[in-house]
Amino acid sequence: MNSNIKFNPFFDIEELNSRDQNEAQFFIKRSSTFYKILHRFLKEGNKSISNIAENLARRATDNRILHEPQTRTSDATDENGKLHNGSKTKSGPLFSGLAYCISSCSMILLNKLVLSGYGFDAGVSLMLYQNFVSVMIVLALEFLGAVSTEKLTWKLVRVWIPVNLIFVGMLVTGMYSLKHINVAMVTILKNMTNMLTAFGEIYLFKKRQSGKVWVALFLMIVSAVSGGITDLSFDAIGYTWQIMNCVLTASYSLTLRKVMDTAKQSTKSGSLNEVSMVLLNNSLSVPFAIVLIILSDEWRYVYKS
């Protein structure tokens, strides 16, 4: 058989009046495939048509695999469509939680050492120092391009002032309670905050918790009461400060949830990330802390110390 025979069929689309354009294109593709198989058959001689068709199908599959982007099952894409390694995505929350535990425990122990161990009787000044350092760290990281924050506008500040007032009260009461109560009891009593937050969500947001959640909260209350009864170093002033701290902490969480949507609308980007919230809280707390230091004459104690 002559292998130089060529097939060059031509189909006029206009003649396919009974079919739409997609059906005509599909018909042409199928016809082209048929002529390719027949041409290979004439060229390869004794090989069967089925083998030739199988080879063509295998080539098409190989080409598709080579041209398709390879995505590992361990990879994941974020909300911006960027590809990230799956192990890094899974280890991120674990690393963040571990860093939070270490920093939180270190801060509590350091504050307890300064307030009780060294007898430093200026909790507001200590809070002012820590908040000022936090602001400097965030600004330095932003300058280096490690983090990004929202620009502080008067519109945003005005929305955030109620949240910040509760934030300052929460920090101040936490300082004074830590001065009079040991770290273990402070940690146990803080569990009461969860119960207050749950009641607040029912009243403000009509959110109902499941029975298992209420059982867990009840056990937390039992542990707090049991710890208070068996506390040999019971200090009424310290417990009063801690109860106030629990109320303010729950109020902070509920108020933050209530004003968050309004705060996001007050920014240019329409969002408010965690770093911006840290900068907002700590920077706005500085003037309030200064006022408290002046009103309580704490500045005299710090100056003499």
The answer to whether residues 55 and 169 belong to one domain is no
In this prediction, residue 280 carries a pLDDT of 93
Q: Is residue 3 part of a domain?
A: no
Residue 285 tokens, joined? 């707390």
The answer to whether residues 143 and 253 belong to one domain is yes
DSSP assignment of 170-204 equals HHHHHHHHHHHS-HHHHHHHTTHHHHHHHHHHHHH
The answer to whether residues 156 and 50 belong to one domain is no
The answer to whether residues 131 and 21 belong to one domain is no
Domain count, the chain: 2
Q: Is residue 299 part of a domain?
A: yes
Length, in residues, of the chain? 305
In this prediction, residue 7 carries a pLDDT of 42
Taking the C-alpha atoms of residue 229 and residue 242, their distance in angstroms, rounded to an integer, is 15
In this prediction, residue 3 carries a pLDDT of 45
Q: Is residue 190 part of a domain?
A: yes
Residue 127 tokens, joined? 């809070």
What residues of the chain score a pLDDT lower than 70?
Answer: 1-90, 231-232
Q: Is residue 8 part of a domain?
A: no
Q: Is residue 5 part of a domain?
A: no
The answer to whether residues 145 and 273 belong to one domain is yes
Q: Is residue 72 part of a domain?
A: no
In this prediction, residue 158 carries a pLDDT of 92
The C-alpha R_g of the chain, in whole angstroms, comes to 35
Q: Is residue 84 part of a domain?
A: no
In this prediction, residue 242 carries a pLDDT of 93
In this prediction, residue 18 carries a pLDDT of 47
For the beta carbon of residue 155, count every other beta carbon within 10 angstroms.
Answer: 13
Q: Is residue 115 part of a domain?
A: no
The residue segments making up the domain with residue 35 are 13-65
Taking the C-alpha atoms of residue 282 and residue 276, their distance in angstroms, rounded to an integer, is 10
In this prediction, residue 41 carries a pLDDT of 47
The answer to whether residues 142 and 278 belong to one domain is yes
The answer to whether residues 151 and 286 belong to one domain is yes
pLDDT tens-digit series, residues 86-139: 555 567 788 878 888 888 888 888 999 999 888 888 999 999 999 999 999 999
Burial string for 71-86 (b: 16+ CB within 10 Å, else e) reads eeeeebeeeeeeeeee
In this prediction, residue 4 carries a pLDDT of 46
In this prediction, residue 163 carries a pLDDT of 94
